[in-house]
Amino acid sequence: MGYSCFVLALFYIVLLHLCTQRAKGADPTAAGFTSLPLNSSNFVIQRPYDLPQSARYSFINGVHRLWVYSTDKPHSPTSKTKPRTEIRIVGYDYSSGVWQFEGHGFVPNGTTGVCVMQLFGAYGHATTLMMRVYNGTLTYYRTPIILDIYDRWFRLNVIHDVGAGEVWVFIDGVLKLKAPDHGGASHYFKCGVYAQDKDSNYMESHWKGIKVLKKM
């Protein structure tokens, strides 16, 4: 009896060890996702319609820098929205599946009342998700996510599971929010600066290492 108990105990210890190793290694932003090819043709820069791209956007050493003033014009002459300078990712609009945006963002002190990343497309709303900055706090719409966001790089991962109707937000690899999506038939990712309420006169964000991933 002693021997078989010992073998059984050993078996469970090994099983437990394997399970904890698996749990440690299971990064939900990596597991099962494939990074899709992206090049400059996938990045359309939306900016005040009366200005050249170089007046509100630069791409130097792999860093996209986007800025806008609260007094700027919208991105098209017919638009009634507030000013924006945003990267609109094209080529990967989706209506089903599990998709993910990854990017390293930076928001300088003073930029406030602004959307820095959005998941476009919803039913009865414009967006499925907006990550904004108000007075140094990174928010999901108006819900605080991270209190101290100014002047540092952070990694943002947003997962949208269309079938489950859910969005997941990770900051620096840590799950910070799970929320229902807002329906809608077609979606895409954007990042940059898009003025919201109580916007500062000047708004800026930087982005690097942008990836679009999909669960295959």
Rounded Cα distance between 128 and 18, Å, is 38
Rounded Cα distance between 176 and 151, Å, is 20
Using CB under 6 A, which of the segments 54-62, 69-77, 129-137, 208-216 binds ligand NAG?
Answer: 129-137
Bridge partners of 193, per DSSP, are 85
Selected binder of ligand NAG within 4, 61, 109, 201 (CB under 6 A):
109
CB nearer ligand NAG, residue 5 or residue 216? 216
Report residue 90 CA to chain centroid gap.
15
CB nearer ligand NAG, residue 28 or residue 113? 113
Using CB under 6 A, which of the segments 1-9, 20-28, 35-43, 188-196 binds ligand NAG?
Answer: 35-43
Three-class SS of residue 90?
Answer: coil
Selected binder of ligand NAG within 4, 41, 61, 201 (CB under 6 A):
41
Selected binder of ligand NAG within 27, 93, 151, 172 (CB under 6 A):
151
Selected binder of ligand NAG within 51, 73, 136, 202 (CB under 6 A):
136
Selected binder of ligand NAG within 134, 140, 154, 202 (CB under 6 A):
134
Give the tokens for residue 158. Answer: 């947003």
DSSP annotation of 5:
H
In the bound complex, what is the minimum distance in angstroms from residue 42's beta carbon to ligand NAG?
7
| Interface with ligand NAG in residues 159-198 (CB under 6 A) | 198
Strand order in 43-46's β-sheet? 43-46, 84-89, 188-195, 114-120, 127-134, 137-140, 143-146
Three-class SS of residue 206?
Answer: strand
In the bound complex, what is the minimum distance in angstroms from residue 51's beta carbon to ligand NAG?
24
The CA angle 115-190-77, to the nearest 5 degrees, is 80
Told to check if 108 binds ligand NAG by CB under 6 A, we report no
Q: Please name the residues in contact with 105: beta carbons below 8 A apart, sequence gap of 6 or more.
A: 116, 117, 153, 154, 155, 156, 191, 205, 206, 207
Give the tokens for residue 95. Answer: 């209506």
Told to check if 201 binds ligand NAG by CB under 6 A, we report no
CB nearer ligand NAG, residue 48 or residue 146? 146
Give the tokens for residue 52. Answer: 């050249």
Q: Which residues bind ligand NAG (CB under 6 A)?
A: 37, 39-41, 109, 134-136, 150-151, 198
